[in-house]
């Protein structure tokens, strides 16, 4: 056990050292931003320095994992932390509250592994790549690629093939453009925490756009079905 892990309190620098093995992009400004948003409440020394407990670190792990793996906005994560059964260590909800295990490794699949995992045929995968719906990174496929492959394979069974799905890609690109337009002013700011605020705003907007998209599709289906 490291020296800081054995102590009751850790400084913000020591917390960074502990977290960066799993979250290499975490920064002091990120932790301060989360504190400012009310997600964590570290104690303070008489001189004003932050003092983090092991429960604070566990809470930070939960927050960072929920953002990275489930792409949840902070308001949703805070709701989980405040209302989901506090049955984990240090009063932190267990990972099932957001549907993702904090220690789940990043998905990295070869082409053959993707085909097996998605139960997809090579021809459909080639079509998905040709129409720009799926693109490997350095010959590897991530979690998003697996989701696209699985969904596309399922849709193909209903007669909806990659060529029919181009409209979804176009819509997704337009929605991403709306998010970019909204966060661009934040990214241009030089104030501390501006990047973290932009990242959180992007998550918030993505959830709202998804909710709106789902509602509009359901409304259209009611019209088609006469209900």
**Block residue for tokens 């809470």:** 59
Residue 225, class by beta-carbon neighbours within 10 Å (0-12 exposed, 13-18 middle, 19+ buried)? exposed
pLDDT in tens, 11-57: 998 999 999 988 988 998 899 999 998 999 999 888 888 999 988 99
DSSP state of 62: H
pLDDT in tens, 70-92: 777 788 888 888 765 444 444 45
The reported pLDDT for the residue numbered 92 is 53
Q: Is residue 103 part of a domain?
A: no
The reported pLDDT for the residue numbered 121 is 93
Q: Structural domain tally of the chain? A: 3
| In the chain, % of residues over pLDDT 90 | 34
Helices in 71-135 by DSSP H: which ranges? 74-83, 111-118, 122-130
Q: State the residue range of the domain holding 122.
A: 111-160
Domain co-membership, 12 together with 92: yes
Domain co-membership, 41 together with 119: no
Q: Is residue 14 part of a domain?
A: yes
Q: Say how far apart CA 223 and CA 67 lie, in whole Å.
A: 36
The reported pLDDT for the residue numbered 155 is 93
The reported pLDDT for the residue numbered 108 is 82
Q: Is residue 202 part of a domain?
A: yes
State mean pLDDT over 163-178.
Answer: 91
pLDDT in tens, 80-126: 887 654 444 444 554 443 333 334 446 788 999 999 988 899 999 99
CATH at residue 79: 1.10.1660.10
Rounded to two decimals, what is the model's pTM? Answer: 0.56
In the three-class reduction of DSSP (H, G, I as helix; E, B as strand; rest coil), residue 41 is classed as: coil
Mean pLDDT value across the chain:
83
Q: Is residue 102 part of a domain?
A: no
Q: Say how far apart CA 55 and CA 52 lie, in whole Å.
A: 8
**Count of other CB atoms within 10 angstroms of residue 165:** 19
The reported pLDDT for the residue numbered 214 is 87
The reported pLDDT for the residue numbered 162 is 93
Domain co-membership, 10 together with 93: yes
pLDDT in tens, 136-153: 988 899 888 988 999 999
- Residue 26 structure tokens: 């975490």
Residues whose CB falls within 8 Å of the CB of residue 57, separated by 6 or more in sequence, listed in order: 10, 15, 18, 19
Largest Cα–Cα distance in the chain? Answer: 68
The reported pLDDT for the residue numbered 178 is 92
The reported pLDDT for the residue numbered 103 is 41
Determine the number of helices (DSSP H) and then strands (DSSP E) in the chain: 10, 2
Domain co-membership, 53 together with 123: no
Q: Which residues of 177-213 are buried (b: 16+ CB within 10 A; e: fewer)?
A: eebeeebeebeeeeeebbbbbbbbbbbbbbeebeeee
């Amino acid at each position: 056990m490291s020296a800081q892990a054995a102590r009751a309190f850790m400084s913000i620098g020591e917390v960074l050292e502990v977290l960066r093995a799993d979250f290499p992009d975490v920064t002091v400004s990120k932790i301060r931003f989360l504190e400012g948003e009310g997600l964590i409440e570290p104690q303070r020394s008489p001189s004003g320095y932050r003092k983090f407990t092991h429960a604070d670190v566990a809470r930070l792990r939960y927050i960072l994992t929920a953002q990275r793996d489930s792409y949840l906005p902070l308001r949703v994560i805070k709701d989980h932390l405040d209302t989901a059964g506090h049955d984990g260590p240090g009063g932190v909800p267990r990972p099932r509250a957001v549907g993702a295990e904090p220690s789940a490794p990043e998905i990295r699949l070869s082409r053959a592994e993707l085909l097996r995992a998605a139960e997809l045929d090579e021809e459909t995968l080639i079509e998905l790549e040709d129409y720009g719906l799926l693109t490997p990174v350095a010959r590897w496929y991530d979690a998003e690629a697996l989701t696209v492959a699985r969904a596309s394979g399922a849709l193909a069974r209903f007669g909806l093939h990659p060529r029919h799905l181009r409209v979804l890609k176009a819509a997704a690109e337009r929605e991403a453009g709306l998010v970019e337009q909204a966060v661009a002013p934040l990214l241009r700011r030089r104030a501390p925490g501006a990047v973290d605020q932009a990242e959180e705003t992007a998550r918030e907007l993505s959830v709202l756009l998804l909710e709106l998209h789902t509602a509009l599709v359901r409304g259209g289906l009611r019209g088609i079905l006469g209900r």
